Amino acid sequence: MMARPCLAIMREWEVMDILVATIAAIFGLVIGSFLNVVVYRIPNGLSVVHPPSACPNCDNPIRNRDNVPVLGWLMLRGKCRDCGTRISVRYPLVEAGTAIVFAATAWVIGPVWVLPAYLWFVAVTLSLALVDLDTKKIPNRMLLPGLVVGLVLLAIGSGIDGTWPEFARGVGAGAAYFGGFLVVALILPRGFGMGDVKLAALLGLFAGYRSWGAVALSVFAAVAIGGVVSIALLALGRADRKSTVPFGPSLVLGSWVAIAYAVPILDWYFSI
């Protein structure tokens, strides 16, 4: 990649990066609120658009003024306005977390036309990780549309940006990631679920668009994160050797790390 030619252009680009990241963060707050609905309703076979959100205890609809991401929970002090039932802190955490990850994604990818595809990728993978934590399943109802829409958005962005070679590499990486996990799942059925195998196609697509190094680091990081989490759960007595620990969140986090930091991590690795 060519160096930025002068200080004036560098400052202009930095301002643009900050502006795009700020807009992405605001957008992320709204998307995070919707993801809370998706993560609860889809595993339970419910519609994500009807009926409107309501208190699970008293069934009273949540007022529009209370439905503002993060601020609504703070104004209500974490309790239903009507019956006083506590509202889980997970809701504002997901909203704030989505805003942070959206801003970070915009900063890493930059103001280019593939950015919407990566924001979609982040939203889908975050929701899948949360569902996997809750149910130990990765539902096709979320994953398959997420993969198809992600592929289309990445293709459109690549066409406008003129990055067809990167897109082709991403498609190949997604196929390779999927195939590798499928082989492992068939040989070691208890190692991965088929949901993890299908998730690998989505992760490989977006990591591969960045580089083959990002794909390799994505796999390594996922295994390392999953191992650390399993050891920690065993040490804390939260799991035993027969427990099933969801691997989807580790796969997702590993891909995020690889997409953002593959170049510096791999440069450091090969330097030693």
Read off the pLDDT of residues 252-263 as tens digits, 9 standing for 90 and up: 999 999 999 998
- What is the predicted pLDDT for the residue at 2? 39
- Tens-place pLDDT, residues 89-121: 999 999 999 999 999 999 999 999 999 999 999
Same-domain check for residues 193 and 182:
yes
The answer as to whether 8 is a domain residue is no
Instruction: Give the pLDDT confidence score for residue 13 in this predicted structure.
Output: 54
**Is 120 a domain residue?**
yes
**Is the pTM higher than 0.85?**
yes
| Domain count across the chain | 2
Alpha carbon distance 215, 208 (integer Å): 6
Look up residue 69 and give its amino acid.
P
Full residue range of the structural domain in which residue 89 is found = 13-111
Q: Write the single-letter amino acid at 2.
A: M
- Interval 149-164 mean pLDDT: 97
Is 181 found in the same domain as 270?
A: yes
Q: Which residue has the tokens 């082709």?
A: 168
Residues 86, 122: one domain?
A: no
Alpha helices by DSSP H, listed for the chain, are 7-41, 71-75, 90-109, 115-135, 140-161, 164-187, 194-210, 212-235, 248-271
Instruction: Look at residue 94 and tell me if it is in a domain.
Output: yes
Work out the average pLDDT over 14-19: 82
Q: Examine the domain organization and report whether 93 and 117 are in the same domain.
A: no
Residue that finishes a domain, picked among 90, 111, 132: 111
The full 3-state SS of 52-110, as one line of letters, equals CCECCCCCCECCHHHCCCCHHHHHCCCECCCCCCECCCHHHHHHHHHHHHHHHHHHHHC
CA 71, CA 91: separation in Å to the nearest integer?
Answer: 11
Assess if residue 7 is contained within a domain.
no
Specify if 4 maps to a domain: no
